[in-house]
Amino acid sequence: MEPKWLAGHDYYLGTVAEFIPGQNQNPAAVVKLDNAITFDNVSGDIVVLELRYVGAKWKEKETVHIELCDFMPEAASWKTRKQGKWVESHASYAKL
């Protein structure tokens, strides 16, 4: 499977900028990417990663949802803050 948002790339690199309240118990990671992503007319270099599965923890690698932002999201839960573009429900990350 080649997700449209990857635009032919195998991966994107980025740095965790902060953790903000997530949709569930675990915080969401706000990541500043080294290169911008463009998906469905939204272009940005900030993504919010939310852990995908119940009981998941932030560790070396895990499955996440990806929300693409062209702004820095505020430190508030997803329901109460400005939301970015939902791009992926089963992405994976790896800590380098």
- What mean pLDDT is predicted for residues 75-86? 94
Q: What was the pLDDT predicted at 69?
A: 97
In angstroms, the Cα distances linking 81 to 9, 41, 42, 71, 78 are 30, 21, 18, 12, 6
Give the pLDDT score at 24.
82
Q: In this structure, which amino acid lies at residue 46? A: I
Length of the chain: 96
Per-residue pLDDT of 8-61, as tens digits, reads 999 999 999 999 999 888 999 999 999 999 999 999 999 999 999 988 999 999
Q: What is the pTM of this model?
A: 0.94
Q: What is the pLDDT of residues 17-28, one digit of tens each?
A: 999 999 888 999
Confirm if 67 and 29 have CB atoms less than 8 A apart.
no
